[in-house]
């Protein structure tokens, strides 16, 4: 194994909500463990939704503090749980806000 992807879908409350589990602390521990192994390449992925779109700055700050170098953002497709859960789908204005965040983020942090 030479690469790992970890899902972090918000600050603690929203990550646990989307994952339907109290696993936020485990994600933080996993990031710390991965940082101990330079030979492993890892990234963090965040499923942006209505509940976490306004906390992207907080998530970014947490990731930078934890030493994360690679972060990917994505939105959900309307299938599975997302099909019937409006909290998982961005509005048009929220999608624009996400794109503006990405544009700002690329200029100000070491995250890729």
16 is written with which tokens? 């646990």
CATH number attached to the domain at 3-108:
3.30.750
Better-predicted residue by pLDDT, 89 or 112? 89
Please state the pTM of the whole predicted model. Answer: 0.86
- Please give the sequence-ordered ranges of beta strands (E in DSSP) within the chain, or none if there are none: 3-7, 41-48, 71-75
Nearest to 32 by CA among 2, 63, 71: 63
Grade residue 110 by pLDDT with cuts at 50, 70 and 90.
Answer: low
Nearest to 64 by CA among 35, 96, 98, 33: 35
DSSP H helix total and E strand total for the chain: 4, 3
Grade residue 18 by pLDDT with cuts at 50, 70 and 90.
Answer: confident
pLDDT digits (tens, 9 = 90+) for 20-66: 889 999 999 999 999 999 888 999 999 999 999 999 999 999 999 99
Overall average pLDDT of the 73-101 stretch? 87
Angle, CA of 68, 11 and 26, to the nearest 5° = 65
Q: Phi and psi of 4, rounded to 5°?
A: -140, 145
């Amino acid at each position: 194994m030479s690469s790992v992807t970890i899902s972090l879908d918000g600050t603690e409350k929203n990550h646990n909500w989307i994952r339907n589990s109290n696993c936020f602390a485990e994600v933080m521990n996993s990031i710390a463990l991965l940082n101990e192994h330079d030979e492993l390449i890892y990234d963090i992925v965040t499923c942006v939704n209505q509940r976490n779109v306004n906390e992207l700055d907080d998530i970014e700050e947490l990731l930078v503090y934890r030493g994360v170098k690679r972060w990917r953002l994505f939105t959900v497709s309307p299938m599975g749980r997302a099909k019937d859960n409006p909290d998982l789908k961005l509005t048009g204005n929220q999608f624009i806000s996400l794109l503006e965040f990405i544009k700002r983020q690329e200029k100000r942090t070491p995250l890729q």
